[in-house]
Amino acid sequence: ITGTSQADCAVLIVAAGTGEFEAGISKNGQTREHALLAFTLGVKQLIVGVNKMDSTEPPYSEPRFEEIKKEVSSYIKKIGYNPAAVAFVPIS
């Protein structure tokens, strides 16, 4: 958090595993908290890494990736980011 206020860009890592993503994006989840903190501290560019794509069912599920992208986009738009300018990268 200390260096966040000087950062130009943040990489938000989101777990794709069943239950893990839902916990992170829930009302008090870390995904929401970290995205909000980054924006509040002045980080204007965001990249979202969708991690653990190999643990989705089936592995590397495009529908799961799109579901996560939609949910995260909806939230980050509410806090002030432009989802069209945010890169979503599936990783493992």
Q: What's the CATH code of the domain at 48?
A: 3.40.50.300
| Residue-number span of the structural domain to which 12 is assigned | 2-90
Q: How does residue 6 score in pLDDT terms, banded at 50, 70 and 90?
A: confident
Token pair recorded at residue 16: 């794709």
pLDDT tens track for 14-55? 999 999 999 999 999 999 999 999 999 999 999 999 999 999
pTM of the model: 0.92
pLDDT tens track for 59-77? 999 999 999 999 999 999 9
1: pLDDT strictly greater than 70: no
Token pair recorded at residue 15: 């777990």
**Whose structure tokens read 């990489």?**
11
As for how many domains the chain has, the answer is 1
What gap in Å lies between CA 9 and CA 4, rounded to an integer? 9
- Rounded to the nearest 5 percent, the helix, strand and coil shares of the chain are 50, 20, 30
CB 84 within 8 A of CB 45: no
